[in-house]
Amino acid sequence: MSFTRELLDTLKYLNLARTNMVAAWPKSFYRRELIHQKVLGRNIFILNRPEDVQRVMVSNAGNYKKSLANRQALKPILGQGLFVSEGKLWERQRKLLSPSTHRNRLKGYAQTMVETGRETVEKLNGSDESQIVDLTEELTLLTSDIITRTMFGVKLGERNQLLYQAFQDYLASHGRIHMSELIGLPAWIPRPGQGKGKAAVRLFDSVILSVIEQRQKSNDRHDDLLEMLLEFRDEQGEEMGFTLLRDEVASIYLAGHETTAITLTWAFYLLHEHPEVKQKLWDELESVLEGRDPTFDDVPKLAYTRAVVEESLRLYPPVHVFSRQALGKDVVAGIPVPKGSFMTISSYVLHRHKLLWENPDAFEPERFLPGRSGDVKQYSYIPFGAGPRICMGKHFGLMEAVLLLALFAQHYDCKLKSGHPVEPLGRMTLRPHMGMPMRMVKRSRS
């Protein structure tokens, strides 16, 4: 490919990325291992080779920080929380929060997940089968309820809907990545639409702060993440400041529910499109569960169910792009990387790359079954990121997705509204454009 054509492809991507990043990727990028262009004096690298992904995200991760685009999208709502912070603050907060998602806590979380999921199932059971529901919204409300119950010990009730609306409003105002961030213009330069998300953040805060204040007034002892944050003392014996406490609660809330809801949405869409896969899923559920609700002990037995989740994450990764900026010089794929270069890794492109996958666009859960590990090259599949900043809620999220997929698939055959166009919209996360309207057809359970 000529230099001029590559430059035009890159400029086209940068322009279209503001509206929908995954639709902006040129077809040529799905066959290229590395794209390097200089745009307005800024070095931009797009990495599609597992070795280079490892270099930037793992082996030399200390040389790369989250890019301005990442920080600008998240900072208004997450402040200095774990997913925005860098350096010593990030290290301290990561160490503090990690125990909340440790494997030894998963069994207790699993019970809460299924109990909360059962409430949603029963609510939907009361509706007419001809009724169309936006599955994305239903699942987001459900996973929102789960994360607040498991991590903060709170049932939100009507406040759950307020949080949902606040985040949808925030996505509408901050979901687009602006050209100024993609090419690294300074943070002090105004971005279009910056003021529109303030009302959304205020509404979001009204709920988050009420959760914190409710706990602070309580005399009861809780064994959850919020209690860990409130009891924290630094080396000088100082407690966590209220602002940072708020930022960490907000970070865990958003990271702990949004991606799982989107993963399940795409999974049910893919099952609708592939009835033969759906039948294999139903067969496994009948064999393992025999009509009862899933439990923590069932998760290892639900191999095909998990494979459906992992293949859904491959085709539609909720976190569809990772962006880093070089703190110092480096060399990637034999090419010098100057300080300040922008390194882009699109999990959406990587997961569908023609050189890395057999039948990359096909929905084939079998590639993730036990004994098929050779089908997935290391660092070609990164739905949770990689390296020091890998999502610490990975095991929580995977277990939640498996349990809820099993629970809902036992009760419902989800059918997409006739004629509804399904398009992945890549902004802050990879959501279906215009939602996922589905008819929840009840299944008979023997």
Cβ 429 vs Cβ 320: under 8 Å: yes
pTM confidence score: 0.92
pLDDT of residue 184: 55
* Neighbour count for residue 242 (Cβ, 10 Å): 12
* C-alpha angle 317-319-323 in degrees, rounded to nearest 5: 130
Determine whether 334 is exposed, middle or buried from the number of CB atoms within 10 Å of its CB (0-12, 13-18, 19+). Answer: exposed
| Sign of the alpha-carbon torsion through 266, 268, 272, 277 | positive
Confidence of residue 59 (pLDDT cuts 50, 70, 90): very high
pLDDT digits (tens, 9 = 90+) for 20-40: 889 888 899 999 999 998 877
Task: Name the pairing type of β-strands 42-47 and 342-345.
Answer: parallel
The 10s digit of each residue's pLDDT in 214-237 is 898 888 888 899 999 999 988 888
Distance CA 274, CA 270 (A): 6
| Cβ(212)–Cβ(229) below 8 Å | no
pLDDT digits (tens, 9 = 90+) for 117-127: 999 999 988 77
Domain coordinates in residue numbering, the chain: 82-180+194-319+350-442
The CATH superfamily holding the domain 82-180+194-319+350-442 is Cytochrome P450 (1.10.630.10)
Minimal CA–CA distance to 46: which of 11, 84, 4, 85?
11
Q: Quick one: pLDDT at residue 15? A: 66
User: pLDDT tens across 280-311, in order?
Assistant: 999 999 999 999 999 999 999 999 999 999 99
Checking if the pLDDT of 99 tops 60, the result is: yes
Four-residue CA torsion sign, 390, 393, 399, 402: negative
pLDDT score at 377: 92
Kindly state the tokens that stand for 246: 């708020």
Give me the pLDDT at residue 338, please.
96
Element (H or E) spanning 159, and its range? helix 159-174
Q: What pLDDT sits at residue 148?
A: 94
What's the pLDDT at 103? 82
CA–CA dist 51, 363 (Å, integer): 25
With beta carbons less than 8 A apart as the criterion, state whether 301 and 3 touch: no
Residue 358 backbone zone (phi > 0: left; psi -120 to 50: alpha; other: beta): beta
Phi, psi of 5 (to 5 degrees): -65, -40
189-212: burial string, b at 16+ Cβ within 10 Å, e else: eebeeeeebeebbebbeebbeebb
